[in-house]
């Protein structure tokens, strides 16, 4: 190839790269626009919101809406602040994610490397569980929680999310463990290693990618859940999504859009942080077990 052709090709590559980056930036701006509007609105006072436009910059930074959204004020039995419900969500999410991830890892390990009679049927049943709509299980789950005496409690919500999430976590781990050579497990058995020894010494050390995927998936699903939260929680055990709904739909006097927007950002912050810090590992983990060998 001549030097002129090489220069022409290089110029074309640069142009295409510029066009690609411009398109990506435009799409990012479109996706970020709602968040930018929310952030700008949360930093304005009510009068400035009414007199300005959605994308107008605040005249001065005003964090009163953030303070009110977080701390709020209690009137009778109603509390406007998000703080206690924010803590409730963590008390639900952390144990639910840990338990469902552990159960999913054990189930995936058994189904992929400790075949038993009916294991395929068991896995098929778990797959069916992935496609059951939330609404279908509301009544039977409510009756079960009442029978166990944990209705309207944090423990009850943890159980609901573990039961519903274990099908997804099992699917993730089973697909990942299929890529681990069977010979490795068989060799460990010949050396006298038992079920839990193999799981702890061999399987878990290579499971970091899929554990990250499962934790991100479960954390996001449970934190953003509204239906189970509003159906199975009591007033003192409501997650942050239910509290956000109550705050937005309850107002005294004029509507305070700045407080609503601040509360929405507060409710979304944990999932944003998780994806910002671990988003790249999510994609890596999903593709780690895609090819066997």
DSSP 148-194: HT-TTSHHHHHHHHHHHHHHHHHHHHHHHHTTS-HHHHHHHHHTT--
Band of the pLDDT at 73, cuts 50, 70, 90?
A: low
Check whether residue 162 and residue 252 sit in a common domain: yes
Per-residue pLDDT of 202-241, as tens digits, reads 888 888 888 988 999 999 999 999 999 999 988 889 999 9
CB 136 within 8 A of CB 225: no
82 has a pLDDT exceeding 70:
yes
Check whether residue 254 and residue 205 sit in a common domain: yes
pTM over 0.85: no
75 has a pLDDT exceeding 70:
no
* Portion of the chain with pLDDT greater than 70, in percent: 88
Check whether residue 91 and residue 163 sit in a common domain: yes
What are the C-alpha distances in Å from 273 to residues 98, 167, 249? 18, 26, 27
Check whether residue 115 and residue 227 sit in a common domain: yes
Q: What average pLDDT does range 151-171 have in this prediction?
A: 91
Within a domain: residue 70? no
76 has a pLDDT exceeding 80:
no
Phi, psi of 75 (to 5 degrees): -125, 110
CB 63 within 8 A of CB 40: no
Per-residue pLDDT of 241-281, as tens digits, reads 998 888 888 766 667 888 889 999 999 999 988 888 877 77
Check whether residue 8 and residue 94 sit in a common domain: no
Check whether residue 111 and residue 237 sit in a common domain: yes
> How confident is the model at residue 62, as a pLDDT?
81
Within a domain: residue 236? yes
4 has a pLDDT exceeding 70:
no
CB 121 within 8 A of CB 190: no
Question: Which carries the bigger pLDDT value, residue 46 or residue 289?
Answer: 46
Check whether residue 157 and residue 221 sit in a common domain: yes
The sign of the torsion formed by the CA atoms of 51, 57, 62, 64 equals: positive
Band of the pLDDT at 288, cuts 50, 70, 90?
A: low
Question: Which carries the bigger pLDDT value, residue 191 or residue 103?
Answer: 103
Q: Mean pLDDT score of the chain, rounded to an integer?
A: 84
Q: What average pLDDT does range 172-199 have in this prediction?
A: 86
Q: What average pLDDT does range 94-114 have in this prediction?
A: 92
Total domain count, the chain: 2
Any idea what DSSP says for residue 200?
I
Quote the domain boundaries for residue 35: 3-62
Radius of gyration of the chain (CA): 25
Of 16-30, 70-84, 88-102, give the lowest mean pLDDT range. Answer: 70-84
């Amino acid at each position: 190839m001549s030097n002129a052709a090489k220069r022409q090709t290089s110029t074309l590559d640069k142009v295409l790269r510029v066009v690609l980056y411009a398109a990506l930036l435009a799409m990012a701006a479109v996706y970020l626009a709602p968040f930018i509007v929310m952030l700008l609105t949360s930093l304005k006072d009510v009068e400035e919101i009414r007199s300005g436009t959605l994308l107008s910059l605040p005249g001065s930074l005003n964090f009163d809406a953030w303070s009110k959204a977080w701390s709020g004020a209690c009137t009778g039995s109603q509390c406007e602040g998000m703080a206690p419900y924010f803590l409730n969500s963590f008390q639900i999410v952390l144990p639910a994610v840990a338990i469902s991830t552990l159960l999913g890892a054990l189930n995936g390990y058994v189904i992929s490397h400790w075949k038993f009679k009916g294991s395929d049927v068991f896995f098929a049943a778990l797959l069916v569980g992935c496609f059951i709509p939330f609404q279908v299980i509301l009544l039977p789950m409510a009756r079960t929680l009442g029978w166990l005496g944990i209705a309207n409690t944090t423990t009850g919500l943890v159980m609901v999310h573990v039961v519903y999430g274990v099908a997804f976590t099992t699917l993730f781990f089973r697909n990942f463990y299929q890529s681990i050579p069977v010979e490795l497990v068989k060799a460990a058995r010949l050396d006298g290693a038992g079920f839990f020894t193999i799981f702890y010494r061999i399987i878990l050390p290579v499971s970091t990618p899929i554990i990250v995927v499962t934790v991100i998936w479960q954390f996001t699903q449970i934190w953003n859940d509204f239906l189970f939260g509003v159906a199975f929680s009591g007033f003192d055990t409501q997650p942050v999504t239910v509290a956000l709904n109550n705050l937005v739909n309850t107002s005294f006097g004029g509507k305070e859009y700045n407080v609503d927007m601040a509360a929405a950002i507060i409710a979304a912050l944990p999932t944003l942080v998780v994806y910002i810090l671990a988003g790249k590992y999510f994609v890596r983990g999903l593709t780690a077990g895609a090819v066997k060998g």
